[in-house]
A and B are shown apart, each in its own frame.
Chain A
């Protein structure tokens, strides 16, 4: 860089005009490359057409007390159980300090008779057992995940095992007394 020092381009701090132009070019190239990285990365996210399948309507009128059904929402199973009065009482009676993820039963239901939640274990995504009449329901009478042994109670709350959170309650609304829209 003898030329630049001779012609007086070097500043007091030691950077020359050429260094500045070099850094500016590099920075422009880096920003340019980064601006194309995002479209590539985002192309792997769910597209609008996948997001559009986001709600499902379910008719609850045919469900008997004590019966469970599984419906599909966003390609995931949603568990709906029409709980017996004993199951509701049991879920309401649990003291908060016994829970890993404290949530009262009323925070988890709109109508206590119908418990609606995503049937995906919050540990590593397996589908818990407990929907079919012969299934293992775990130590708390709700659901049991066979993969790594998580037990959920009759409100779908985690009681024992590695799962960190209660079974997720999706957004839903009652369109009428027996018709519910999930999502």
Chain B
């Protein structure tokens, strides 16, 4: 996009550096003069919130790694030592632990923003796919991080999730042994999870860089979902968006600090304060809250479910494999959303039907999360199964068909002139 002003004039040392390595010019172009649509609302602050959370997670994680011992004999006690003896260790760990939850909260809202305002549509498809890759990397990182304290939930969560791969015929068992480095989740597993948990955040950082680079080519989408027509439709990133983001950050930090200082274990499980015991499985294993919707999809596929029997069971697919494929599929499908959505109108503000379907999809996701945290029995299973079907029905059937059938409301002529005469 065209910037509103000419480039800045640097002097002195900054000028000397900038002529040899133009980082100041780059920062000024991408974070100061960078034009953003003038109608952005607070939903557009969640990308900044996610970036800040990533930095907080990396910073606290490095200091935790200085005290942590990735060995099954020592891990649990080293975490307790961080909590009790290391100076401010409790604070660093609680910031890190709750940071994972805050990261998923802001990223889920960020994804909702993308879906509601159609930010994934042409020309931002690759930007969206990079976002889905970040989500998957975050899930892998969070899963491995949860294993490190080596409590009961760490061990059994890791056992259940790694065992998912055993669902694949023939190659399944060797893959599981390879992932474990042994015949059970044990020291070899803990060691490699620690190594990967340290590595992946930097991979995420790199993909976030690409995500932002891809964003800065077309620029931000906006609540109207129409492209800016000229300088009258945009404002500079600094100070307009930076000031707005600062307010969002202040509110975000208040909520985050509230969790850290007043309810640090509210989102965790007490069972993870019991040292890992390879001979006793806790009666009720649940993953962290941010995995629950996907866990519910996984558990929905049981051999006596009518849907499974009618469509999958009879040609030799096992319920376990179907569940695993559905769980991974529910994430992968998000990546192809730009091609599933056939409507040319981006924003749901001008899509009277799809708007409500997006809200239903969010409710469906919340229901999946709720039943995912409950034991897999009775009504919870039935609700989870219908919610799973609706998840896929929404993405695979409703999204393309509504895109064809729906008559969108008239779009405004431009961002700066939203008032237009209604169509006859």
Contacts and interface: CB of A to CB of B under 8 A. Distances in A.
B284 A146 contact: yes
Given A126-B281, A147-B285, A76 B183 contact: yes
A125 B159 contact: yes
Contacts of A65: none
Contacts of A100: 303
Contacts of B179: 44
A46 B376 contact: no
Contacts of B279: 70, 72, 77, 127
B178 A75 contact: no
Given A124-B160, A126-B285, A127-B280, A45 B320 contact: no
A90 B280 CA distance: 27
Given A126-B159, A149-B376, A75 B186 contact: yes
Nearest to A148: B376
Interface string B153-193: 00010011011101000000000011111111010100010
A45 B177 contact: yes
Interface string B219-235: 00000000000000000
B281 A124 contact: no
Contact of B299 (A46, A77, A127, A148): A148
Contacts of A75: 182-184, 186, 278
A100 B319 CA distance: 13
A127 B183 contact: no
A162 interface: yes
A72 B186 CA distance: 13
A98 B303 CA distance: 15
Given A124-B164, A126-B159, A74 B184 contact: yes
Contact of A50 (B162, B188, B280, B285): B188
B178 A45 contact: yes
Contact of A125 (B160, B302, B376): B160
Interface string A148-165: 110000000000001010
Contacts of B302: 162
A123 B320 contact: yes
Nearest to B179: A44
Contacts of B164: 124
B305 to A, nearest CB: 10
A148 B284 CA distance: 9
Contact of B281 (A70, A127, A149, A164): A127
Nearest to A42: B178
A77 B278 contact: yes
Interface in A133-155: 145-149
Contacts of A147: 156, 160, 281, 285
B168 to A, nearest CB: 12
B283 interface: yes
Contacts of A145: 281
B414 interface: no
B181 A45 contact: yes
A162 B319 contact: yes
Contacts of B181: 44-46, 50
Contacts of B318: 164
A126 B184 contact: no
Contact of A146 (B162, B283, B303): B283
Contacts of A70: 279
Nearest to A118: B183
B188 to A, nearest CB: 7
Interface of B: 156, 159-160, 162-164, 166, 177-184, 186, 188, 192, 278-281, 283-285, 299, 302-303, 318-320, 376-377
15 contacts: A44-B179, A45-B181, A50-B188, A72-B279, A75-B182, A76-B278, A100-B303, A123-B163, A125-B160, A126-B156, A126-B285, A127-B279, A127-B281, A149-B376, A162-B302
Interface of A: 41, 44-46, 50, 70, 72, 74-77, 100, 123-127, 145-149, 162, 164
